A and B are shown apart, each in its own frame.
Chain A
């Protein structure tokens, strides 16, 4: 008789717990906390809807482009070559010293920008120099006298300056990315007013160099060190024999009975390791599960088919299966044709696999890896031929389709945990505990950050708001 399909509900959850819980205490606890989510939902509905409406209202009209972006959104100024030539010819407005009736009025040139500095951009591989300046006194939005800034550069201090770009008015920084390493550059910045350009003093010479550390990702380094240390610690602890508890996952427990079902029915097992290549971790995770499934199939002498979408995956799947069959002493059952290439093209692949399902009617289908739109097509076809289906993917957009159409689904990280469960290797189980440290940190900061942001938003306190911004920036990635 085919194994039962999935069940749900508290009784089912309870039956899967392996630690010695008191059932009475559990149900009482559940009854009490049931009211809490309802209250939170009502409160959250009110607060989130009001903030959601406010955000939509604020975002409705077109936002102005940020200031300081070089040339973004501004009408490009005339070429500064001609402007520089004009500026070098006349440094005083023509017409003011003569009779007003004789010559047309020409405005005075704008004040030049001051405190121009050129520094080697930090945390890069020597591809840019940052030029900063203090805006011209005439750069006032109300008058619009200054229309932009000309960025002039030369490779020797006494050489001819050439324009490299323009920056919009109201800006005080420019990132020059057209530099070469080990070349000395000097800069001047000119305030543009029509045909007139007032140049600053020379800044430099400066050389762009490669840095040994990207300080912008310091927060990433800290988090990485914490997580890697936690994972390695638990791996070490597990290696020393410490017993670590992990919860049971019904999808993984069903693997053996699913293989048994195929054996009883005399039909093949179909294993799909996703449609991505070996550079995707999900594909590697899928193939580690294939190793366990291969061992079971070899023990039960069940036919196993692995159609793949990438050639490298085919080679790896063959090695995996060969070793799996060898490890249980059944190399005679292994054949290279078990894992075969179909096509790289997404829908061509799913058409081929659907055809295999409809013609060969496998009893068990495994979908373990990265999937896209073809997930539902595969799962529904498998369901139509009466196969038991176990899926696992870390693609959030495809999880709902697998949950709806398959019997068991490994959600997200459960796919990566499956190899540890199936192999029962202590060190691999230890690595799962290490992940819990990361989850704990994430949960703490989500809760703490939400509380602080809510308090700041409701109270309007500027200190709390500033702390919230600081906390947000702590986790911002600045690549």
Chain B
């Protein structure tokens, strides 16, 4: 019947899709799948690249190396579970180096989610690689206190006034390594591993500058560019993201190869990061090929 037949307009065949149309509208799920493969496959096939340490990270390593045995180093765990993949490897690398040098390791947190990361570090690094290090003699976990930059300001002047006990509730005066510590100025170095506020900037502003204490930092890749202005006058070094963590691990393993087995978490993750970056670059190039192809097609259509 006539009314059942499609009209002339409706009978026109759909325009044939060419390569440009396909490249222009790649389904997001394909992108997600390829990114997932880019991360998973290098892990399965153990794709590992050698990492060289950049000067901004080497500065932290050299500072720790130069400290005489028995020097006090404060490490602040100012991050949460969401940035553990970036921050935890740098925290472990730094603490491993500090303990390998027989320095005194003081750990605290200005984030409430920091102390669990200290416990993880104690299991992964101290119990595994330094079983002879005694709690309260070589390392101590002071725990978390609220107050953000106010806390940093307070412990610069009077640490024992704020921290009367360690994280387990034991009196601070009962620990040998706390006996000659009055405040932050007794520290030879402060290292903040952070991912936001309060973080490295607050340590520089409220401890490093007023107390003239060397401060180094380890932050997520997104935050690192904001801290470059502080380097090198106010921040002696900075580890930025997984790359920074991998560079510090590479420096530690180079000097102390006996820790190679457990000390290369970030180095192993550089493989997936590299492949994922290449996939992103590939998609950007594909998108631009589609863009220029479409533009040329429109120009030809106008001329035609």
A interface secondary structure, majority: loop
A residues in contact with B82, CB < 8 Å: 346-347, 373
A384 at the interface (CB under 8 A from B): yes
Do the beta carbons of B62 and A61 come within 8 Å of each other? yes
**In the bound complex, do residue B158 and residue A58 qualify as a contact, i.e. CB atoms below 8 Å apart?**
no
The answer to whether B236 touches A59, judged by C-beta atoms less than 8 angstroms apart, is: yes
Task: From A58, A59, A69, A373, give the contact of B185 (CB < 8 A).
Answer: A69
Q: Does B222 have its Cβ within 8 Å of any Cβ on chain A?
A: yes
Q: Which residue of chain A lies nearest to B58 when distances are taken between CB atoms in the complex? A: A60
B62 x A72 contact (CB < 8 A):
no
Given A76-B180, A397-B222: A58 in contact with B232 (beta carbons within 8 A) = yes
Task: Report B231-257 CB contacts with A as 1/0, cut-off 8 Å.
Answer: 110001100000000000000000000
Residues of A with C-beta under 8 A to B59: 59-62
Chain B contacts for A372, CB-based, 8 A: 196
Q: What residues of B have a CB within 8 angstroms of the CB of A62 in the complex?
A: 59, 62-63, 65-66, 236
The one of A61, A63, A73, A397 in contact with B71, judged by C-beta atoms closer than 8 angstroms, is A73
Contact of A60 among B62, B183, B185 (CB under 8 A): B62
The residue that B231 contacts in the complex, of A59, A68, A384, with Cβ under 8 A, is A59
> How many residues belonging to A are interface residues under a CB distance threshold of 8 Å?
31
Question: Are A177 and B187 closer than 8 Å at their CB atoms?
Answer: no
| A75-B68, A76-B180 known; A69+B213 contact, CB < 8 A | yes
Min C-beta distance of A241 to chain B, whole Å: 43
B183 to chain A: closest residue by CB: A177
> Are B232 and A59 in touch, CB under 8 angstroms?
yes
- In the complex, which residue of chain B has the Cβ closest to the Cβ of A127? B157
With A and B bound together, what is the CA distance between A70 and B205 in angstroms?
A: 18
With A59-B231, A63-B236 in contact, is A479–B187 under 8 Å at CB?
Answer: no
Say yes or no for B212: interface residue by CB 8 A criterion. Answer: yes
Is B55 part of the contact surface with A, judged by Cβ < 8 Å?
A: yes
Give, as a whole number of angstroms, the nearest-CB distance from B184 to chain A.
9
| Docked pose: A372 CA to B210 CA in angstroms | 29
For residue B93, CB closer than 8 A to chain A, the reply is no
Identify which of residues 165-208 in chain B touch chain A, using a CB-to-CB cut-off of 8 Å: 180, 182-183, 185-188, 196, 205-206
Interface 0/1 of A149-191, CB less than 8 Å to B: 0000000000000000100000000000110000000000000
* Residues A71 and B186 in contact, CB atoms below 8 Å apart: yes
Tell me which of B58, B71, B212, B231 contacts A66 (CB under 8 A).
B212
CA distance A127 to B232 in the complex (A): 31
Q: Provide the residues of chain A in CB contact with B58, threshold 8 Å.
A: 60
A411 to B251, CA, bound (A): 40
Chain B residues, CB < 8 A from A66: 212
Does the CB pair B70–A75 fall under 8 Å? yes
In the complex, the number of residue pairs spanning A and B with C-beta atoms less than 8 Å apart equals 73
From B182, B206, B226, residue with most partner A Cβ within 10 Å: B182
Interface residues on B, range: 35 or more
Q: Mark B209-233, 1 if CB is under 8 A from A, else 0.
A: 0111110000000110010000110
**A99 contacts which chain B residues (CB < 8 A)?**
none
Whether A69 contacts B210 by the Cβ 8 Å rule is no
Q: Could you tell me which residues of chain A, from 333 to 356, have a CB within 8 Å of some CB in chain B?
A: 346-347
Interface residues of B in 65-81 (CB under 8 A from A): 65-68, 70-71
**B222-A69 in contact (CB<8A):** no
- From the candidates A56, A177, A178, name the one contacting B56 in the complex (CB within 8 A): A56
Closest chain B residue to A67, Cβ basis: B212
Kindly provide the distance from the CB of B43 to the nearest chain A CB, expressed in whole angstroms: 23
Residue of A63, A66, A372 contacting most chain B CB atoms (<10 Å): A63
The residue that A72 contacts in the complex, of B66, B185, B205, with Cβ under 8 A, is B185
The verdict on B28 contacting chain A, using a C-beta distance below 8 Å, is yes
| Contact partners of B236 in chain A: CB under 8 A | 59, 62-63
Contact check, A63 vs B63: say whether CB atoms are below 8 A apart.
yes
Which of B71, B187, B226 contacts A396 (CB under 8 A)? B226
Provide the residues of chain B in CB contact with A60, threshold 8 Å: 55, 58-59, 62
Give the CA-CA distance A72 to B65 in the complex, in Å: 16
Interface residue A55 (Cβ < 8 Å from any Cβ of B): yes
A141 within 8 A of B: no
Q: Which residues on A sit within 8 Å (CB–CB) of B211?
A: 69, 72
- Which residues on A sit within 8 Å (CB–CB) of B157? 127, 177
The residue in chain A whose Cβ has the minimal distance to the Cβ of B224 is: A397
A397-B185 in contact given A56-B55, A60-B58, A75-B70 (Cβ < 8 Å): no
Min Cβ gap B69→A in Å is 10
Distance in angstroms between the alpha carbons of A170 and B62 in the assembled complex: 24
* Cross-interface CB contact of B158 among A73, A178, A346, cutoff 8 Å: A178
The minimal Cβ–Cβ distance linking B247 to chain A, given in whole angstroms, is 13
A57 adjacent to chain B (CB < 8 Å): yes
Which A49-91 residues sit within 8 Å CB-CB of chain B?
Answer: 55-63, 65-66, 68-73, 75-76
CA distance A178 to B55 in the complex (A): 40
Q: Given A62-B62, A73-B67, A75-B70, output 5 extra A-B contacts at Cβ < 8 Å.
A: A55-B232, A57-B55, A70-B185, A72-B187, A177-B158
Interchain residue pairs with CB less than 8 A apart (26): A56-B55, A59-B55, A59-B237, A60-B55, A60-B58, A61-B59, A62-B62, A62-B66, A63-B63, A65-B214, A68-B212, A71-B186, A72-B187, A72-B211, A72-B213, A73-B67, A76-B180, A165-B182, A177-B158, A178-B158, A373-B82, A373-B222, A384-B28, A397-B222, A397-B223, A479-B205
Q: Which 9 A-B pairs have the closest CB atoms?
A: A59-B232, A62-B62, A62-B63, A62-B66, A56-B55, A177-B157, A69-B212, A73-B188, A60-B55
